[in-house]
Amino acid sequence: MTPGRRPAESARACVSCSRRSWLLAELSGPLDYQCRDRGRLLDLLELSDGDLLRAVAGRRRQELSSACARFDVRDVSPAQGVEAVCRHDPSYPPALNDPGGPRMLNVAGGLDRLRALTDTPTVAIIGSRRATDYGMEMAKSLARGLAASGVTVAGGLSDGIAVAALAGALEVDGRTITVVHGGLDVACPVGRRSLYRRVGQSGCALSELPCGCGPRRWTHAGGERIIARLAELTVVVEALDSPGELAGARIAQALGRTVAAVPGRVTSRASGGTHALLMNGAHLVRGPVDALELLYGPQAPAAAGLATAQDELEPRLRDVLDRVGAGDDTPGKLTRAGEDAGGALLALSELELLGLLARGDGGRYVPRHSAA
């Protein structure tokens, strides 16, 4: 691992690492094909440029080899506001500096900020792309609590759980890192643009691919390996019991990082994956307190910014909150036994305004914090 040539004084990425990034973008098609086997994809990403070309380039090998030889770093000139940094630079996050990690990063938000973010403990909150309202609220409250305690929250932009977590962390102006599955300028999903912008204002967005590279299936898998490396602790909030949904957790486990999962109802398929993780020894996380304990040990600082209001609730609100948590989560169910309908609606509204309940799908209410 010798430092390569530096193309210019200001650039923090050497030519060989920039070339790697360019090459991955060129090989997007073949890599996408290999993506059907995630393990093989991760192995491929560890190969050197030459071996990678031999393994996947096929008929384009000659052409790409000669293009590699002629590679000019200006071919991958980053977009406005994006800085490149490679693993030969001292400011490169050490957590990423292993053979399976990315060779270089394009960073939106500034290298100094990235340094500050990766120097604090980082928790990745990941999960299903088809999350339920329960999962969303859990991810949000978990991220809110962690971010308020100064922990950096990391997550992608494609799965609903990670998006909810980033939104939750931003609610308390917390530290956030997101990994974009493609070029920083083009690969953000349309529906996430406003979130992406907000992350960019106070946190960082990372990508190992050059600007202009569109998102592909394999870039998701590639992004998951970056997120798993960034975080000391990976929390799966809600995931189906399928290899695709658990891929991030598997990578973190393989790296020896702590993996935790939030339980759901055992009857819910949406939590099947997290239950499988828990069965296989993942730590159980009910809320920010548990996650902080996993990060810092028993001397964990008290989770800041948590709704202490929960403890000083009026009995009637407490009662409604408990019943919603236990499954009577619609006005209809709350008043089934003939209780005062107006009172129940008032209590639900008050709890929503206190930030203890949120509206879920189909008129249901979802507790925003786990029951203490």
Which residues are at the interface with other proteins (CB under 8 A)? 129-131, 133, 136, 160, 163-164, 167, 191-192, 194-195, 267-270, 330-333, 335-336, 341-343, 345-350, 352-353, 355, 359-364
For other proteins, which is the closer residue by CB, 65 or 335? 335
To other proteins, the closest distance from the beta carbon of 313 in angstroms equals 15
3-class secondary-structure state, position 79: coil
For other proteins, which is the closer residue by CB, 84 or 136? 136
For other proteins, which is the closer residue by CB, 6 or 130? 130
Residue with tokens 């990976």: 234
Residue 217 neighbours by CB under 8 Å, 6+ apart: 32, 35
Q: Residue 175 phi/psi, 5° resolution?
A: -85, 135
Cα angle 155-257-225, degrees, rounded to a multiple of 5: 45
For residue 363, the 8-state DSSP code is: G
To other proteins, the closest distance from the beta carbon of 352 in angstroms equals 7
3-class secondary-structure state, position 356: coil
To other proteins, the closest distance from the beta carbon of 359 in angstroms equals 7
To other proteins, the closest distance from the beta carbon of 336 in angstroms equals 7
Task: With CA atoms as reference, report the closest residue to 117 among 183, 195, 29, 177.
Answer: 177
Structure tokens at 180: 């974009």
Task: With CA atoms as reference, report the closest residue to 229 among 206, 249, 255, 204.
Answer: 255
Tell me what percent of the chain is helix, strand and coil, each rounded to the nearest 5: 50, 10, 35
For other proteins, which is the closer residue by CB, 76 or 166? 166
For other proteins, which is the closer residue by CB, 164 or 277? 164
To other proteins, the closest distance from the beta carbon of 364 in angstroms equals 5
For other proteins, which is the closer residue by CB, 199 or 261? 199
To other proteins, the closest distance from the beta carbon of 53 in angstroms equals 36
39/17 Cα distance (integer angstroms)? 23
Greatest pairwise CA separation for the chain in angstroms:
79
350/367 Cα distance (integer angstroms)? 13
164/191 Cα distance (integer angstroms)? 13
To other proteins, the closest distance from the beta carbon of 142 in angstroms equals 14
Residue 331 neighbours by CB under 8 Å, 6+ apart: 341, 344, 345, 348, 363
For other proteins, which is the closer residue by CB, 149 or 271? 271
To other proteins, the closest distance from the beta carbon of 178 in angstroms equals 13
362/331 Cα distance (integer angstroms)? 11
Residue 29 identity = G
For other proteins, which is the closer residue by CB, 112 or 319? 319
For other proteins, which is the closer residue by CB, 236 or 289? 236
Instruction: Tell which phi-psi region holds residue 261, choosing left (phi > 0), alpha (psi between -120 and 50) or beta.
Output: beta
To other proteins, the closest distance from the beta carbon of 326 in angstroms equals 14
To other proteins, the closest distance from the beta carbon of 347 in angstroms equals 7
**10, 3 in Cβ contact below 8 A?**
no
For other proteins, which is the closer residue by CB, 123 or 136? 136
